[in-house]
């Protein structure tokens, strides 16, 4: 069985899969004594209405994935709520052996591009992790393609 080590997500190592959103450190767009606002820290395009869901994943004895899914008509935005998670990803056209995984912390988000294969997130440091899932309306019933991959151990 193949084993891969998870990476800390950053703009450079995640770029072929989508975009990383981290807390900005630059100049604010607007601020006063009651708030600071940073505009346009990430971009994505979704045709039509969107939906927001919540997924909760549970710690397993071993973090082995044997399947991935993708969406052909929408990017997918994932935002940790109560714990960091690790996200397994596989670029379209690449062999199963090229799967990678990325650790996403609370306060960060990732935008997974259309057609990128991805597994369910894996909780880090807790028995479960919940995260927001944002994509085109009705994606779970209209735009999910699944495939099996060689069993892969994800080291967190």
Give the model confidence (pLDDT) of 97-110 as tens digits.
899 999 999 999 99
Whether 133 shows a pLDDT value over 90: the answer reads yes
Per-residue pLDDT band for 92 (boundaries 50, 70, 90) equals confident
Better-scored residue on pLDDT, 93 or 18 = 18
H/E element holding 18?
strand 18-21
pLDDT, average across residues 72-76: 97
Residue-wise pLDDT for 76-89, tens only, equals: 999 999 999 999 99
Contacts of 122 (CB under 8 A, 6+ apart): 57, 59, 60, 63, 85, 86, 87, 88, 101, 129, 154, 156
Residue 96's SS3 state is: helix
Q: Quick check: pTM over 0.85?
A: yes
Maximal C-alpha separation, the chain: 55
Instruction: Give me the mean pLDDT over the 15-43 stretch.
Output: 94
Q: How many CB atoms lie within 10 A of CB 61?
A: 5
Asked if residue 70 lies in contact with residue 116, where contact means CB atoms within 8 angstroms, the answer is yes
């Amino acid at each position: 069985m193949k084993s891969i080590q998870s990476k800390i997500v950053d703009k450079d190592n995640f770029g072929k899969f989508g975009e990383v959103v981290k807390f900005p450190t630059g100049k604010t767009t607007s601020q006063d004594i009651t708030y600071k606002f940073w505009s346009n820290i990430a971009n994505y395009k979704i045709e039509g209405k969107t939906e927001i869901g919540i997924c909760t994943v549970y710690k397993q004895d071993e973090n082995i994935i044997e399947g991935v899914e993708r969406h052909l008509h929408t990017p997918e935005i994932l935002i940790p709520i109560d714990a960091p998670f690790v996200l397994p990803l596989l670029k379209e056209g690449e062999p199963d052996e090229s799967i990678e995984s990325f650790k996403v912390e609370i306060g960060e988000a990732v935008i997974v591009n259309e057609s990128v294969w991805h597994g369910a997130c894996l909780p880090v440091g807790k028995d479960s992790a919940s995260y927001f899932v944002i994509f085109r309306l009705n994606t779970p019933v209209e735009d999910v393609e699944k495939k099996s991959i060689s069993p892969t151990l994800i080291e967190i």
